Amino acid sequence: MRYLRWLVLGLLLCPGGVFAADMRCEGRLVGVGDTVVELRAKCGAPAFRRSQPRLSAVGTPDDLSYVREQVEIWTYPNQPNGLGRVVTVRRGRVASIETLGKLALNRNPACARRSFSKGTRVGTVRLSCGAPMDRAVWEEQRVVRTRSGHEVRRLVVHETWTYDPGPGRLIRIIHFENGRLTRTETGHRSPS
């Protein structure tokens, strides 16, 4: 019973993927805290890399300030064990490593008709479908009330990717918030 509790707790803390402490690239180990130089030397360039702004609250509720920084998300598809990895880089160091399932590397715009589940990462869609025909990006600051009753600002980066699979087919529009899929929709048919 104790094991089951720990398993449930672990699943709640790691939605959408499993976080790992390290990953292997051609027999060389990369871990949390390694520098970007070490990551590149051991694993090479990622298949997909994106930069995302992040707003973090720092200090006490009475003396709160905000730090805005760029965080990079590096996607390495299908490592030797067959699973993809997402590496979050913060301030020049590996902040986390997430294990994904196998990525279907199709790179075919028609795959935009494929169904992706809510929470799928931007890198997974990009590696599966290729670059979108159009990409719109905007930022929003949301005010969130904490359990203690204090208000904290959260930065949300919105992206809308549009795929046109060709004449007579429905356009596919994919929406993301902070690098995770929130919803998909279909647009009008592409002109023939």
Q: Note whether 96 and 87 are within 8 A (CB).
A: yes
Rounded Cα distance between 51 and 154, Å, is 17
Residue 169 buriedness (CB in 10 A; 0-12 / 13-18 / 19+): middle
Q: Write out the two tokens for 37.
A: 């130089």
| Lateral strand order in the sheet of 180-189 | 134-145, 151-163, 170-177, 180-189
Rounded Cα distance between 192 and 73, Å, is 37
Position with higher pLDDT, 9 vs 120 = 120
Q: What pLDDT score does 1 carry?
A: 47
Whether residue 175 is predicted with pLDDT greater than 90 in this model: the reply is: yes
The pLDDT tens digits of the residues spanning 10-52 come to 433 444 445 567 888 888 899 999 999 899 889 888 888 888 8
Q: What pLDDT score does 9 carry?
A: 40
Position with higher pLDDT, 58 vs 72 = 72
**DSSP secondary structure of 159-175:** EEEEE---TTSEEEEEE
Percent of the chain whose pLDDT exceeds 70: 78
Rounded Cα distance between 42 and 36, Å, is 10
Q: State the average pLDDT over residues 57-80.
A: 80
Whether residue 147 is predicted with pLDDT greater than 70 in this model: the reply is: yes
What is the residue-averaged pLDDT of the chain?
79
Position with higher pLDDT, 83 vs 122 = 122
Q: Which of helix, strand or coil describes residue 17?
A: coil
Q: What are the Cα distances from residue 114, in Å, to 14, 47, 109, 172? A: 25, 21, 10, 10
H/E run at residue 139: strand 134-145
The pLDDT tens digits of the residues spanning 103-138 come to 666 556 556 557 889 999 998 888 888 888 888 899
